[in-house]
Structure 1
Amino acid sequence: MNLFVVGDVHGCLHTFKGLLDRHWNPDKERLVQLGDLIDRGNDTPGTLRLAKELRQRYGTNAVFLKGNHEYEFIQHIENGPNEYWLPQCGFETLNQLRSANIELQEVSEWIHELPLIWENEHVLISHAGIADQVEFPFDEGNELGVLWNRTPLRNVGKLQIIGHTPCKSGSPEYDQASHSWNIDTGAYRKVALSAIRVTSLGEVLEMVQFPVDPRDVSENE
């Protein structure tokens, strides 16, 4: 089964749904969204609702990974006010969820269970990638770990697919040294939501860039 890997969504519900409706074939492809479903965009509640519906309908063929924004949300709910996250985007996300009558604890529990990676023998997908110099890549608080890393990646002998750091070019970028693709193209910045279609052997079939729906991002973003 091929893989359809989607980059950072950041609450851009209409864009995410449009991308899936137009380009994902759930009968032939496993969907993997590599984290940061929430924050920044105009509809975090709807984005979470869609993700839950897809997981319920397609089971293991709809995979959602944890990103650093999910981590920050969990820290806020479980450990008290997250003063780093709140002014960046947390206040807006909390307001959206409360307005939609969604229990914050339920959201925290759902995203807490999201995996950090999806992998097979040929492909490894995570939010920020396996850093070249990291000792504990799966420590969620590690600045070089798979939720936070912004340093060069290690060549792990597989194709790595990551997001987290928006590509300066506005298009997905390939790094030959680490054999990795970064597909974060800044949906919340009104650039595009990108996805990559690959075989289970890690062969790239297609790169997709879907324009951001203007309903998803406020004018002041």
Structure 2
Amino acid sequence: MGLFIIGDVHGCLNTYIELMEHWDPKTETMIQVGDLIDRGKHSASCVKLAFELKSTFKDQTIFLKGNHEQMMIDFLKNTGSKNDWLNNGGFQTMENFKANDLDIHFYMCWLNTLPLMWSNEHVVVSHAGFSTAADDPFDVEDPSGLLWNRKPLLNLGKVQVIGHTPRMNGKPEFSAASNSWNIDTGAYRNICLTGIRLREDGKFLEAINVPTSEKDVDVEKVF
């Protein structure tokens, strides 16, 4: 199976749906790097759609946990700072779940089960990547771990694919030094959402960029 890997969605439902039209579930595994929620207008619907896709295409979809999912989990379980998530789009996300009559705690439980990474013999995918500075990359509180890292990436001898740090030019970036792709292209910043198509052996085939739908963000509130 080939790989279709999607960057940070951040509540941009309409943009996400348009990008998924390029995914072929018969020949490709779709992997989403986390941060489905916060900042865009449709966080609840993005999570609901992901949950339904996983239920329908169990073997063809991989949803990874991002730092925004972790902040939401920590907030709802009263294990994190109450202001961290609320000040990073959490308040709007909570209101969006209420407006859509969706049980945020039910979906929080599902999000809490999401893995931090996916890999095969040639490719490894995570939200923020394996860093040169991480004490424990799988520690959800490690600032240089797989959820939070913004430090240089390790070259793992595999193609590494991450999101987390927006590429403000709207183009995914390949680093030869770390053999890695950053595919966060700032959907919530009214730029675009990106998916890259790789062969199972990690060979890059193409990037697909979908401009952010005007239905997904309040342009005057973009941050």
- TM-score normalised to the size of structure 2? 0.96
**Tell me, which stretches of 5 or more residues in structure 2 are unaligned?**
none
Distance 2:190 2:118 in 1: 27
Partner of 1:39: 38
Residues 132-159 of structure 1, C-alpha deviation per residue, up to 9 Å, x if partnerless? 1222101011000000000000001100
Q: How far off its partner does 1:46 sit?
A: 1.0
Q: How far off its partner does 1:98 sit?
A: 1.1
Matched, 1:125 2:125: yes
Give runs of aligned pairs for residues 181-192 of structure 1, distance below 5 A.
181-192=181-192
Q: How far off its partner does 1:201 sit?
A: 0.4
Give runs of aligned pairs for residues 26-175 of structure 1, distance below 5 A.
26-79=25-78, 82-175=82-175
Letter in 1 for 2:57: Y
Q: How far off its partner does 1:53 sit?
A: 1.3
The percent of aligned pairs where both chains have the same amino acid is: 45
Match of 1:14, SS state, is helix
Distance 2:172 2:39 in 1: 20
Partner of 1:13: 13
Distance change in 2, residues 1:215/1:115 (3 Å): same
Contact 1:72 1:82 in 2 (8 A): no
Contact 2:199 2:205 in 1 (8 A): yes
Q: How far off its partner does 1:103 sit?
A: 1.5
Residues 87-127 of structure 1, C-alpha deviation per residue, up to 9 Å, x if partnerless? 22111110001111112211210100001001001000000
Distance 2:213 2:11 in 1: 11
Contact 1:167 1:184 in 2 (8 A): yes
Runs of 4+ in 1 over 4 A off after TM superposition: none
- TM-score normalised to the size of structure 1? 0.97
Matched, 1:179 2:192: no
Contact 1:132 1:155 in 2 (8 A): no
Contact 2:53 2:61 in 1 (8 A): yes
Calculate the aligned-residue CA RMSD, in Å: 1.0
Q: How far off its partner does 1:79 sit?
A: 1.1
Distance 1:94 1:75 in 2: 14
Letter in 2 for 1:193: L
Partner of 1:198: 198
Q: How far off its partner does 1:164 sit?
A: 0.1
Aligned length: 220
